[in-house]
Amino acid sequence: MKRFDVLTIFPDLFSPVLNESILKRAQEKKKVKITIHDLRDYTQDKHRKVDDRPFGGGPGMVMTPQPIFDAVKKIKGRKKVHAILTCPTGKPLTQSLAQQLSHHKHILIVCGHYEGVDERVRENMIDESISIGDYVLTGGELPALVLIDCLTRLIPGVLGKEESLDTESFTHDLLEYPQYTRPADFRGMKVPNVLLSGHHLSIEKWRQEQSVEKTKKYRPDLLNKSPQKS
């Protein structure tokens, strides 16, 4: 079974997302175990303080090393755990990075906050920092959920065949072809004839062409990538 541990100052943010739909089912089917840890449980002062002002001055607060060091050490124990910090300066999350990360059996996600985390945490306790995109959020909790969602659906047996992995967007550096369902004529808007033809080869060819067209139109940047991107 795959394991995720999450270290956060907002543990209550997680259960509404983790206890619905495919993520809920994956946990029930024992494909994944997700444990949320409250960082404040590892503080040593009576105010349960997790941040302080930056040395050298400047705005904002920095997460202090002590609670994170102690929590990460305790959660890891003697186990082999891949430790990830969510922060906007990390490696951008892509489908191919997700595929690489999916080989780790046990991942610990430390949710960053404020102006950042004391650099000694990153240097000593973290294997890699990950960003979910070039924009800044209020904290690393939503990115942690994005990462868990993205990696959980790659676990064999989590998706049914209705939610198949192999034709989806980004897998081959192309967006997925357009999909239609019933009715074939909705208020005068018709489904392309080829999809009603029952001719599998023509349908396959049409879908490939549409994939390329859609990618050219909406994500031309994907077409300029080499097949072996990181």
Which ranges constitute the DSSP H helices of 136-224? Answer: 141-152, 200-218, 220-223
Q: How far is the CB of 197 from ligand ADE (least distance, A)?
A: 44
Q: Give whichever of 88 and 178 is closer to ligand ADE, judged by the CB atom.
A: 88
d(CA 181, CA 183): 6
Per DSSP bridges, beta strands 82-92 and 189-190 are unpaired
Contact between 88 and ligand ADE by CB under 6 A: the answer reads yes
Q: Give whichever of 133 and 192 is closer to ligand ADE, judged by the CB atom.
A: 133
Decide: 150 and 135 in contact? Cβ < 8 Å: no
- Scanning residues 120 to 139, which ones bind ligand ADE (CB under 6 A)? 131-133, 135-137, 139
Answer whether the bond into residue 183 is a cis peptide, omega within 30°.
yes
Q: Give whichever of 137 and 212 is closer to ligand ADE, judged by the CB atom.
A: 137
Q: How far is the CB of 177 from ligand ADE (least distance, A)?
A: 29
Decide: 177 and 213 in contact? Cβ < 8 Å: no
Element at 63 (helix H, strand E): strand 62-63
Q: Give whichever of 67 and 112 is closer to ligand ADE, judged by the CB atom.
A: 112
Q: Which residues pair with 129 in a beta bridge?
A: 85
Q: How far is the CB of 97 from ligand ADE (least distance, A)?
A: 13
Is residue 38 classed as helix, strand or coil in its secondary structure? Answer: strand
Contact between 61 and ligand ADE by CB under 6 A: the answer reads no
- Scanning residues 138 to 197, which ones bind ligand ADE (CB under 6 A)? 139-140, 143
From 16-24, 81-89, 118-126, 187-195, span contacting ligand ADE (CB under 6 A): 81-89
Q: Give whichever of 67 and 143 is closer to ligand ADE, judged by the CB atom.
A: 143
- Nearest by Cα to 5 from 80, 97, 63: 80
φ, ψ at 73 (rounded to 5°): -60, -45
Contact between 11 and ligand ADE by CB under 6 A: the answer reads no
- Scanning residues 95 to 114, which ones bind ligand ADE (CB under 6 A)? 112
Q: Give whichever of 137 and 191 is closer to ligand ADE, judged by the CB atom.
A: 137
- Nearest by Cα to 115 from 147, 93, 143, 87: 87
Q: How far is the CB of 116 from ligand ADE (least distance, A)?
A: 9
Q: Which residue has the tokens 């002590």?
A: 66
Size of the site for ligand ADE (CB under 6 A): 13
Please report, as ranges, the residues that interact with ligand ADE according to CB under 6 A.
86-88, 112, 131-133, 135-137, 139-140, 143
